[in-house]
Structure 1
Amino acid sequence: MIDPKTEFLMSEANEDKTSDDFRQMGLRLAQEVVAFVKKKMDKVSRSGRLGDIKLSFVGHSIGNVILRTALAESIMEPFLKYLYTYVSISGPHLGYLYSSNSLFNSGLWLLKKLKGTQCIHQLTFTDDPDLQNTFFYKLCKQKTLENFRHIILLSSPQDGYVPYHSARIELCQAASWDFSKKGKVFLEMLNDCLDQIRAPSSEHRVFIRCDVNFDTSSYGKNLNTFIGRAAHIEFLESDVFARFIMWSFPELFR
Structure 2
Amino acid sequence: MTFQPPVSLSEAEIAAVRGWVLAEDAHFLALNKPSGLSSQGGRIKAHTLDDLLWAFARSNGKRPHLVHRLDRDTSGVILAAKTKPAAAFLGKALAAGRFRKTYLALTEGPPDPPKGEVKGWLRRAEIGRESYMRVCAEGDPDAVVAHSRYRTLSASHHAAMIELQPLTGRMHQLRVHMAHLGRPLAGDARYGGPLTLAGRTAQRLMLHAASLSFPHPEGGERRVEAPLPEDFRALVAAGLGGGVEG
TM-based fold match above 0.5: no
Q: Structure 2 length normalisation: TM-score?
A: 0.28
Q: Relative contact order: is structure 1 or structure 2 higher (C-alpha 8 Å, sep ≥ 6)?
A: 1
Structure number with higher helix proportion: 1
